[in-house]
Amino acid sequence: MRIVLLLLPLLLAHCGTAERLSRIGRAPEMAPIADPTRSPGYQPVSMPMPAPQDARNLSANSLWRPGSRTFLRDQRAASVGDLITILVSIKDTADLSNSTERSRDNSENMGIPRLLGLDSSYTRFLAEGIDPSRLVEASSANTSAGNGRIQRNEAVTLRIAATVTQVLPNGNLVVGGRQQVRVNHEMRDLNIAGIIRPQDIASDNTVQHDRLAETRIAYGGRGTVSDVQQPRYGQQVLDAILPF
């Protein structure tokens, strides 16, 4: 069992290395266009819902649809399979700094010059002799200092088309989208998912990312540049198991 645990990191590293070796000289392959609801990680969303209400009866002689922003039909996403454009504009700035310093110095001395008149018998047990006033002497010193600082400045601005994958009972829409861009041998992946209200969809069928509830935005890449930015497998294993 121990041998298996020791060889497991090597096997995982070999799998990753084999994958990289298999695409030497070739750019990363793009994922096929597929139904988002059939992806392995897809799960339908369940949220607290208000009590259902009866739909309003529409007049048979009316050409106007309630809630519509056009004369005959609302062009905004409203049903499963409809497309909507999500505008992502993230500007995040953070600057955190902390400093810790600790110092301690201890010294202990203990002796028993007189103990029930037995101090004259110490030489019978310790031929070398002993000073009863200095039986125990101990000292310790400890110093600790630490400094840490986090500086982060992120800016992501882009547009991505997403698909309505689910309509919740209260009318809110579950959306999900993926975008891939390949430049030379470097692939950029963008994934976005969340829940929006139909009222937040603009007349041009767009919605700001900060109007999405349970927002999940992943922006990353893979390829030659990303490979050299990742520590080697051996270094990652040592970072995980070494206690110092």
- In whole angstroms, give the CA distance from residue 125 to residue 108: 25
173 touches 78 (CB < 8 A)? yes
Q: pLDDT grade, residue 10 (50/70/90)?
A: low
- In whole angstroms, give the CA distance from residue 228 to residue 18: 16
* pLDDT given for residue 227 in this prediction: 75
Q: At what angle do helices 233-241 and 2-22 cross, to 10 degrees?
A: 150
pLDDT in tens, 126-177: 656 666 666 677 788 888 788 888 888 888 888 999 999 999 999 999 999 9
Amino acid at 228: V
- In whole angstroms, give the CA distance from residue 54 to residue 216: 33
pLDDT in tens, 28-68: 777 777 787 888 888 887 777 767 655 555 555 666 665 55
- In whole angstroms, give the CA distance from residue 112 to residue 115: 6
Q: Which of 64, 61, 80 is nearest to 72 (CA)?
A: 64
CB atoms within 10 A of CB 240: 8
**11, pLDDT greater than 60:** no
3-state secondary structure 83-133: EEEEEEEEEEEEEEEEEEEEEEEEEEEECCCCCCCHHHHHHHHCCCCCCHH
Strand pairing of 206-208 and 83-110?
A: parallel
- Name the DSSP class of 207: E
Starting at the earlier edge strand, list the strands of the sheet with 213-223.
206-208, 83-110, 136-167, 173-183, 186-196, 213-223
Average pLDDT over residues 15-36: 70
pTM of the full structure: 0.57
* pLDDT given for residue 90 in this prediction: 84
pLDDT in tens, 198-244: 999 998 899 999 999 988 988 888 877 777 777 777 777 777 787 76
* pLDDT given for residue 2 in this prediction: 57
In terms of residues, how long is the chain?
244
DSSP H helical ranges for the chain: 2-22, 122-125, 224-229, 233-241
User: What is the domain partition of the chain in residue ranges?
Assistant: 96-149
* pLDDT given for residue 182 in this prediction: 86
Rg of the chain over Cα atoms, rounded to whole angstroms, equals 34
When mean pLDDT is compared across 9-13, 72-76, 86-90, 140-144, the lowest value belongs to 9-13
162 touches 86 (CB < 8 A)? yes
129 CB-near residues (< 8 Å, 6+ apart)? 122, 123
